[in-house]
């Protein structure tokens, strides 16, 4: 059940309606049932994995806390600490084992076979191609985050199984995040929620904006990207460059759209999910970009991987190594392919290079007069960051290393720029130039909204402070632009969200 389908809208409205009708005590049970039903729409069998992950981390959390209590009561510190550590590691291995088995086994075997073939040894004859369970990367990280928090003693283990199971499987963020922290979501699930008109109207606005991002921008840009990338031999040079730019927009709107619908859906039930994006394409450095892009994942890696590795506390070289490790793993988390690893490493290299340049600049600034950056310098930094990030997206889009390199070669044939400038993308690939115009205007609208976010404003709050006529025009425009230009219905295949594959 994709967010951009009528089924989801009907499902959501039904769930919300019953949620508010039911007494407080039953609401979490209802949401848990709805979440499991939602997940089962993809694959009935994989519900076992979700449940296993939930049970392992729930029981693990309780036992970790019990051992901590025993340690405090008996004063038998060493033995309890050892037991806790063993238990913690076992839980982590079990969870990562499930993720690894379903996501990385096939990749690992094929990599091993390739290496063995270089030394003329026959590889494993098994085929481990398993359909990746939707959302497994997201809910595994979320559950692990909880377990680590309990282990560290940052939070108490959740005693109520229904609340915990709902924390892992809460349907708006189950399949593609945001990867919520127990301190935020679990705490909210334990609270009572009363019907608030504010939540409803803000939630509906977020759902509408998310649909606009997905159906009008991401899916329309996807048409250009898919046609060009799948025929990169024909559409070389400027076509590929344009497609890569559109992919940068597509992936942003696709994932941001999903996250926004997720936030809106949760808000309809009075639950606040974290904002996963904060105007990332206004970033003036790759480091800043990663603070604004997929914030829940970046935060997870920062708190549970980068800092435990030593972060920036153990010298510059170690900081650079830690950064590279985190980004390589982040790449691998996105997809079991060398192209994703390369994408991650590339982002790591950007950041390490930035650190070096910043260090140099700092030294130079100490010697010369420090000047505040003017508009053009800021613009240059923003554009450069966008270009660097977009270049890295090429590897992400291609999915396979060989394809990425071929695409890169095809991109370097600049023999067709006139066609692109004359609007061939709209007339040849989209259904007409007016679709391209609407796409470009929509992207402009996105950047205007994002600029407000970049300036630190709560866009939803600002929107509801405007006059009724302005709100009516904006809401009606969004509805009718979706109805007229959105990719849905008879003429289009409903596009899956890109991040569902991770």
Partner 1 sequence: MKQLRCVAGVLAGIFIFGEIVRGLNYLYVPENNADAMWYRIMWNSFYEEQGNIDNVVLGSSHVFCDINPYLLDERNHQCNFNLSSPGQLMNATYYLLKEADKNNELSHVYIELFYLNNIKATFGGEEPITEKYFNNWGNVDHMKMSLNKLAYMLTMTDVEKYPETWVQFIRYRTNLSDWGGIADTVNWKKSEDYLNYNYQFFYRETDECETVYGKKGYYYTPSVFNETGRFFFQSTILQENPMAELSEQYLRKTIAFCQRKNIPVTLFVSPMYDLQLISTENYDNYVNQVRGIAEEYHVEFYDFNLVGEEYLPIQHPKYFMDGGHLNSVGADLFTDFFNQVMSGDIDVNKKYFYDSYKERLQNQEPEVYGIYYRDSKDSEDDGDLVRHMWIGSNRETEMEYRIIFMPYGKGQELIQDFSVNKEFKIESSSESGTLSVEYRLKTNPSFIQKIEIEIEL
- Positions touching partner 1 (CB under 8 A) are 5-7, 10, 197, 431-432, 434, 468, 472, 475-476, 479-480, 483-485, 488-491, 494
272: left (phi over 0), alpha (psi -120 to 50) or beta: beta
Residues 6+ apart with CB under 8 A from 318: 310
Min. distance of Cβ 495 from partner 1 in angstroms?
13
Q: Which two tokens stand for residue 180?
A: 């919520």
Rank residues 201 and 302 by Cβ distance to partner 1 and give the closer one.
Answer: 201
Q: Which of 163, 195, 167, 172 is nearest to 21 (CA)?
A: 195
Rank residues 34 and 91 by Cβ distance to partner 1 and give the closer one.
Answer: 34
Catalytic residue selected from 120, 272, 294, 334? 334
Length of the chain: 502
Angle subtended at Cα 262 by Cα 50 and Cα 62, rounded to the nearest 5 degrees: 40
- On the CB side of 81, CA atoms within 13 Å amount to 5
Min. distance of Cβ 196 from partner 1 in angstroms?
11
Rank residues 5 and 190 by Cβ distance to partner 1 and give the closer one.
Answer: 5
Min. distance of Cβ 458 from partner 1 in angstroms?
21
Rank residues 5 and 24 by Cβ distance to partner 1 and give the closer one.
Answer: 5
Min. distance of Cβ 491 from partner 1 in angstroms?
7
356-386 in b/e form (b: 16+ CB < 10 A) is eeeeeeeeeeeeeeeeeeeeeeeeeebeebb
Q: Is 272 a catalytic residue?
A: no
Give the separation between CA 105 and CA 9, rounded to whole angstroms.
36
Tell me which H or E stretch contains 434: helix 433-454
Min. distance of Cβ 197 from partner 1 in angstroms?
6
Give the separation between CA 184 and CA 361, rounded to whole angstroms.
39
Rank residues 7 and 24 by Cβ distance to partner 1 and give the closer one.
Answer: 7
CA–CA distance from 371 to each of 253, 274, 358, 364, 378 (Å)? 36, 36, 15, 12, 13
Min. distance of Cβ 489 from partner 1 in angstroms?
5
Rank residues 5 and 231 by Cβ distance to partner 1 and give the closer one.
Answer: 5
> Which residues participate in catalysis according to the annotation?
334
């Amino acid at each position: 059940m994709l967010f951009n389908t009528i089924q989801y809208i009907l499902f959501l409205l039904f769930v919300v309606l019953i949620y508010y009708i039911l007494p407080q005590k039953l609401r979490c049970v209802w949401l848990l049932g709805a979440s499991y039903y939602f997940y089962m729409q993809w694959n009935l069998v994989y519900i076992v994995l979700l449940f296993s992950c939930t049970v392992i981390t729930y029981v693990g959390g309780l036992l970790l806390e019990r051992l901590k209590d025993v340690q405090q009561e008996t004063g038998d510190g060493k033995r309890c600490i050892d037991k806790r550590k063993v238990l913690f590691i076992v839980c982590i291995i079990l969870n990562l084992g499930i993720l690894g088995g379903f996501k990385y086994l096939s990749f690992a075997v094929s990599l091993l076979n390739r290496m063995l073939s270089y030394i003329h040894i026959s590889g494993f004859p098994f085929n481990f191609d398993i359909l990746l369970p939707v959302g497994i990367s997201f809910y595994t990280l979320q559950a692990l985050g909880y377990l680590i928090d309990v282990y560290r003693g940052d939070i108490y283990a959740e005693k109520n199984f229904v609340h915990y199971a709902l924390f892992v499987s809460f349907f708006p963020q189950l399949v593609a995040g945001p990867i919520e922290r127990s301190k935020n979501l679990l705490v909210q699930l334990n609270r009572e929620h009363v019907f608030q008109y504010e939540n409803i109207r803000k939630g509906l606005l977020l759902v509408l904006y998310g649909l606009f991002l997905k159906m009008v921008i991401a899916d329309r840009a996807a048409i250009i990207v898919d046609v060009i990338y799948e025929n990169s031999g024909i559409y070389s040079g400027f076509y590929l460059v344009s497609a890569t730019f559109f992919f940068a927009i597509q992936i942003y709107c696709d994932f941001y759209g999903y996250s926004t619908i997720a936030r809106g859906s949760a808000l309809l039930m009075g639950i606040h999910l974290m904002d996963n994006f904060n105007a990332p394409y206004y970033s003036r450095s790759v480091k800043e970009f990663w603070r604004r892009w997929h914030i829940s994942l970046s935060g997870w890696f920062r708190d549970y991987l980068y800092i435990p590795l030593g972060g920036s506390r153990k010298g510059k070289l170690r900081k650079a190594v830690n950064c590279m490790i985190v980004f390589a793993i982040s790449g691998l988390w996105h997809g079991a392919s060398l192209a994703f690893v390369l994408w991650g490493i590339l982002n790591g290299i950007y950041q390490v290079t930035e650190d070096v340049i910043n260090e140099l600049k700092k030294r130079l600034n100490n010697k010369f007069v420090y000047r505040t950056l003017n508009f053009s310098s800021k613009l240059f930094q923003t554009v450069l960051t966008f270009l660097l990030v977009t270049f890295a997206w090429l590897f992400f889009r291609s999915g396979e290393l060989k394809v990425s390199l071929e695409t890169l070669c095809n991109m370097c044939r600049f023999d067709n720029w006139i066609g692109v400038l004359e609007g061939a993308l709209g007339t040849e690939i989209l259904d007409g130039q007016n679709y391209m115009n609407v796409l470009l205007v929509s992207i402009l609208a996105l950047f205007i909204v994002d600029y407000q976010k970049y300036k630190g404003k709560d866009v939803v709050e600002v929107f509801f402070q405007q006059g009724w006529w302005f709100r009516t025009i904006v809401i009606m425009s969004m509805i009718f632009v979706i109805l007229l230009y959105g990719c849905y219905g008879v003429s289009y295949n409903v596009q899956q969200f890109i991040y569902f594959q991770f």
